[in-house]
Amino acid sequence: MGEEEEKRPPVLQMVRAEGSDKSCVTFVLHNEDHTLGNSLRYMIMKDPDVDFCGYSITHPSESKINFRIQTKGGLSAVETFQKGLEELMGVCQHVLSTFEAPLTAIHQHSVQVPYEFSC
């Protein structure tokens, strides 16, 4: 628990270029890859008040995403990012509940069929 925990980077960092307003922000997501990056980009780009949303992975050996958002009319990029995360979580919860109920029902009513191997 001592040194290793202190050296671990935060899960999320916010980087704002000097002189930029709240509508243009880059977020750095540590320990993430294309799965989250592309899903979140899709959810955020559905917002008509977003001018640009994109991400890049700095290097294949690093599990870090640079995620940039630019919004229209001074809308907060942080709020847009948060809204995108919430919407993505809602979609994930829907998918999970859609598949959990049938799987539970199948497991409760399944009959074990003996496996026979013949040559």
Task: Read off the pLDDT of residues 41-82 as tens digits, 9 standing for 90 and up.
Answer: 999 999 999 999 999 998 989 889 999 999 998 899 999 999
Instruction: Tell me if 98 is assigned to some domain.
Output: yes
Instruction: Tell me if 113 is assigned to some domain.
Output: no
Instruction: Tell me if 1 is assigned to some domain.
Output: no
Distance, in Å, from the CA atom of 64 to the CA atom of 106, rounded to the nearest integer, reads: 39
Query: Total domain count for the chain?
Result: 1
Task: Read off the pLDDT of residues 35-50 as tens digits, 9 standing for 90 and up.
Answer: 999 999 999 999 999 9
Instruction: Tell me if 59 is assigned to some domain.
Output: yes
With 0.75 as the threshold, say if the pTM is over it. Answer: yes
Q: What is the DSSP string of 72-94?
A: STT--HHHHHHHHHHHHHHHHHH
CATH number where 100 lies: 3.30.1360.10
Distance, in Å, from the CA atom of 62 to the CA atom of 97, rounded to the nearest integer, reads: 33
Instruction: Tell me if 2 is assigned to some domain.
Output: no
Instruction: Tell me if 118 is assigned to some domain.
Output: no
Whether 62 and 17 have beta carbons less than 8 Å apart is answered as: no
Inter-residue long-range contacts of 33-40, CB under 8 Å, 24+ positions, other chains counted: 33/57, 33/63, 33/65, 36/65, 37/65, 37/67, 39/88, 40/67, 40/84, 40/85, 40/88
Instruction: Tell me if 3 is assigned to some domain.
Output: no
Owning domain of residue 66: 8-108
